[in-house]
Amino acid sequence: MRMKLAATAAMALAALPLSANADGEVNIYSYRQAYLLEPLLNAFTEETGIDTNVVFAKQGLAERLEREGRNSPADVVMTVDISRINELVEKDLVASVDTDTLHKNIPENLRHPEGKWYALTTRGRLIFASKERVKEGEITSYEQLADDKWEGRICTRSGKHPYNIALFSSMIAHHGEAETAKWLEGLKDNLARKPQGGDRDQIKAIAEGVCDLSIGNSYYYGNMLKDDKQRPIAEQVNLVFPNADGRGTHVNISGISLTKSAPNKDNAIKLMEFLSSPEAQRIYAEANTEYPANPDVKPSGLVAEWGDIHPDDLSLQEIANNREAAVKLVDRVDYDG
């Protein structure tokens, strides 16, 4: 049997018919759209004979788990962004998993200290630079985004978006709150327009001449290249891997956690281990234009063409711990104002 899925809005989650007592199944709550998981989960079923059921929602899964309590049918939660993963930990909704396979496959900085989440893929938070108006090598770090030379030349999405908050949290880890506040003020002063839209919209703004630089996740660029209509837009920017010659480029993750109420715990752990394996890592990373979390698996497809990424080895849990401070800094400098 293939993967069963239900793509739902958060308000419609209660209607999803998942069984908490089914044998030979794993029930998955996912912030990542189900069709992106299909090749991966079909491979898992073919290897193990264990069926999978997927609930997708853009938001509200943590609240649903709280509401369902120990009667929840969910075995695992698959998430994007460290803040969403950490929310599950803070709400005490997920359990520790400690297996030799997971520890072997996933580096220490890409997993929770107590095994309450494991990264599955990573994506770089890159700088996109106009091929026409920015010389190669003219900008090489996040810190340089605050330089006066870029005044009126940068576009970003909201400073409060989780992807930016994670980047700002990493800056706090490296420079402290005071220096990060100064940097954030400089970045705001260099904005060409009020923060808006998503990461793809910033690349479009560069193509339209609104700005010369933007910040965005690497997989958005990859997905634009895969789209015939968006490829001409994406091809107007160069990728910059910030701080590649220093501490490394900030990365965020997609990840997985075992729920405390998991009715199919053994099968769920088998899924987690499978997803960390070289075979699954190749399938998942290539399907989503991301980097494998397993360091023994090399990037493939479009991602491989971009060259090696030198990722910041900062613990993602440390980034999560700085989230509240980062949000306060965004408010203090009125970044979105």
Phi-psi region of 60 (alpha: psi -120 to 50; beta: other; left: phi over 0): left
143 pLDDT more than 90 = yes
The DSSP bridge pattern shows strands 94-95 and 118-130 to be unpaired
- How far apart CA 274 and CA 289 sit, in angstroms, is 19
Residue 219 annotated in ligand binding: yes
- How far apart CA 187 and CA 190 sit, in angstroms, is 5
Contacts of 132 (CB under 8 A, 6+ apart): 236
- One domain for residues 23 and 73: yes
pLDDT one-digit tens code per residue, 285-337:
998 899 999 999 999 889 999 988 999 999 999 999 999 999 999 999 999 99
Residue 220 annotated in ligand binding: yes
pLDDT one-digit tens code per residue, 24-36:
999 999 998 888 8
Q: Are 84 and 255 in contact (CB under 8 A)?
A: no
- One domain for residues 144 and 245: yes
Residue 183 lies in domain: 124-249+317-332
- One domain for residues 140 and 212: yes
Average pLDDT across the chain, whole number? 93
Q: What is the pLDDT of residue 20?
A: 47
- How far apart CA 139 and CA 152 sit, in angstroms, is 15
Query: How many domains, the chain?
Result: 2
Would you say residue 181 lies in a domain?
Answer: yes
- One domain for residues 196 and 207: yes
User: Which CATH number goes with the domain that contains 56?
Assistant: 3.40.190.10
- One domain for residues 193 and 326: yes
- One domain for residues 43 and 161: no
Would you say residue 115 lies in a domain?
Answer: yes
pLDDT one-digit tens code per residue, 44-73:
999 999 999 999 998 899 999 999 999 999
User: 111 - beta bridge partners?
Assistant: 118
pLDDT one-digit tens code per residue, 193-248:
999 999 999 999 999 999 999 999 999 999 999 999 999 999 999 999 999 999 99
- One domain for residues 322 and 286: no
- One domain for residues 32 and 110: yes
Sign of the dihedral through C-alpha 81, 91, 320, 73: negative
Would you say residue 280 lies in a domain?
Answer: yes
Sign of the dihedral through C-alpha 131, 134, 136, 137: negative
Tokens for 276, please give them.
């960390």
The DSSP bridge pattern shows strands 118-130 and 213-217 to be antiparallel
Tokens for 100, please give them.
């030799």
